[in-house]
A and B are shown apart, each in its own frame.
Chain A
Amino acid sequence: MADVPGDRRYLSSHEWAIEQDGTITIGITAHAAEELGELVFIDLPKVGSEVSAGESFGEIESVKAVSSLNSPISGTIVEVNDELESSLETIGESPYEGGWMLKVQPSDPGEYEGLLDADAYASQLDG
């Protein structure tokens, strides 16, 4: 289970979330990054925007395919990883660290506990 860290939660659509000091950091999993292949463009929202659990917060292009990025939780964006736009390879090289995308102030902290844990997400990948 090397590719599925146990310190965070997951969406079945391959986004992760981790709670740190009251904010939730969001990114995509190693599986998602590998599946996408060579990344070409990314469109992330601006600080201050609202995101909703399960809904698209941005889009990413790879191999002529644009894919929606879904938010695991609802809340207000407090920080965006602007460096990704010029270094998209970071998402594939470090999906759980340098490849983070958003930091969100959650509006419903209970949503985080309702996400998949690492075992459940890993089972989905194995299934």
Chain B
Amino acid sequence: MAPPRERPLTIVIDAPRSAPWNMARDEGLLDGERTVLRRTAWREPAVTIGRFQPWSILSHPLPPPDGSPVVPVRRITGGGAIFHGEDLTLAWVAPCPSPLFPDRSPAAIARRAAELWLPALLPHHPGGRIRGGPSEERAQRSVVDCFDRRNPFDLVIEESGGEVRKIGGIAMHRRGDRVLIQASLLRSATMAPEGDRELLHALAAGSGLPIQEESEISPRELELSINAAALRYGRASWNRRAPASDRPAD
């Protein structure tokens, strides 16, 4: 009898969408069953804030380069705020534990994602590496911008002056036996959006899984996304929620 065929990794080069819909689609994928690498494109500039960040941090200057208004939305993943518009945003959803992510610990997932992606990014960010060093998560929690935070599993490059610059960061949500990894990668001069399809295939190649490509999420994932939008991202009570410590007592 032939061994069971390995489940494929599906690449979805998604169309530009609003910030709430992008977050809802990622959560729909998390609640689905497939392994998916989605290119997230933005209909307009947006800021996503981490699950536990206070809404008030939006007064912090996260710079839209042309001064245009941005749409803010709260993620279900951790970490800091990210301005989206010129970055390459990705969502990677997979079973965990699984051959792709054998260890459920957040540090192991972050390390694995960084190791899988780095080879595909090196042609675009020569000298790129995984930052390494100790974890300082608690010390970093008051740092607003994801790209100002330091994590051992950041992707970084060393600039000419010796300064280390973060070129990629991730945030995760673990639910049941699945994980959602949302990533933001700085685009280099060789990473124009027209090349996203090729780059996503290179990023996915590290997984060792059979790869297929689709232009849309599945009807079931869409249904789950609509539920997530109704429950969270379309509601001020989710997006503007205060940390538990700031909420009034009953």
Contacts and interface: CB of A to CB of B under 8 A. Distances in A.
B250 A65 contact: no
B105 interface: yes
Given A37-B106, A85-B244, A66 B173 contact: yes
Contact of B78 (A35, A56, A65, A68): A65
Interface in A39-95: 39-44, 46-48, 56, 59, 61-68, 85
Contacts of A40: 52, 78, 137-138, 141
Contacts of A59: 51
Q: B interface, how many residues as a size bin?
A: 20 to 34
B110 interface: yes
A61 B78 contact: yes
A66 B75 CA distance: 10
B54 to A, nearest CB: 11
Contacts, number: 87
Contact of B76 (A35, A47, A48, A66): A66
A38 B245 contact: no
A67 B195 CA distance: 33
B164 interface: no
A118 interface: no
9 contacts: A37-B135, A40-B138, A41-B52, A61-B51, A63-B151, A66-B52, A66-B172, A68-B174, A68-B175
Interface of B: 50-52, 76-79, 104-107, 109-110, 135, 137-138, 141, 151, 169-176, 179, 243-245, 250
Given A38-B138, A61-B78, A66-B174, 10 more contacts: A36-B105, A43-B52, A62-B78, A63-B137, A64-B151, A64-B169, A65-B78, A66-B52, A67-B106, A85-B244
